[in-house]
Amino acid sequence: MRRHPVLVVPALYVADDGTLDWLAAYAHAGGHLALGPRTEDRLRRPRGKARQEPAPRRLTTAAGAQYEEFSNLLRDITLRAVPGSPLELPEQATATRWVDGLTVLDAEVLAAYDHPHFGRWPAVTTRRHGAGRVTCVGTVPGRDLARALAAWPAPAPGSGRQNLPPSVTAATGTSPDGRRVHVVHNWSWDPMHVTAPLALSDVLGGTSAPVGTARRPGARGVRIFLTAGEETASA
């Protein structure tokens, strides 16, 4: 996954089962799979036979979401942020052209439609799958939403490469037992403040760090975090 940490599948309308299983395996092995609208609507057979199950059928468990209803859009729809979402949604984020009616099974909602009808469905969802992640984008993103989505997984949330002081670096990896580990290192003799980009737990301090809270690596200091919800390792 070092060469291809993120795989974007913008609109895989026709696909065979083998391709879909490969995509699920990619995410399970540690990749971030980003699915666009109308994914796996039809089976790759002569004339693209329609599938009878909710889509994406062979990716539903991995994605934690599915869709049965969909609609085209006559005009763009503004999106609204979801409290606690790690996705930084710009004010001008819009959905264009299409909406998949995503139904959440056990995924996390990252963004929603600000609309009296389409607001019943999430616009973007994400779910951990094995050592990786599957994110579903149920629309054709407008320019600002597309930029936000591109910035979020690459680098991945918690990788620490964004909005850090010049003297601070961060690295994110997956431990052998599948937990996401985040190491923040301050190379300066001056203490620095960094903001948690997602809910974290401090391995050495035993404290929690909710999204948006500041943590202070001391002079030449190191802080080690786990993604919140994962059992804290002993120091």
Distances (CA, A) of 130 to 77, 93, 173, 188: 33, 30, 13, 36
Q: Which of 151, 181, 198 is the last residue of a domain?
A: 151
141-177 pLDDT, tens per residue?
A: 999 999 899 887 654 444 444 567 778 887 777 777 7
- Number of Cβ within 10 Å of residue 87's Cβ equals 23
Check pLDDT > 50 for residue 48. Answer: no
Domain assignment present for residue 234? The answer is no
Of 227, 177, 180, 181, whose CA–CA distance to 201 is shortest? Answer: 227
Q: Domain check: are 34 and 147 in the same one?
A: yes
Which class for 234: exposed (0-12), middle (13-18), buried (19 or more C-beta within 10 A)?
exposed
Rounded CA Rg of the chain? 19
Q: Is residue 117 a part of any domain in this protein?
A: yes
142 & 186 share domain: no
Given this model, what pLDDT does residue 44 score? 46
Residues 144 and 178 placed together within one structural domain of the fold: no
Name every residue whose Cβ is closer than 8 Å to that of residue 115 and which is 6 or more positions away in sequence: 77, 78
Q: Is the confidence at residue 188, as pLDDT, over 90?
A: no
Q: Residue 86: which CATH number?
A: 3.40.50.880
Domain limits at 219?
168-227
Residues 172, 66, single domain; the answer is no
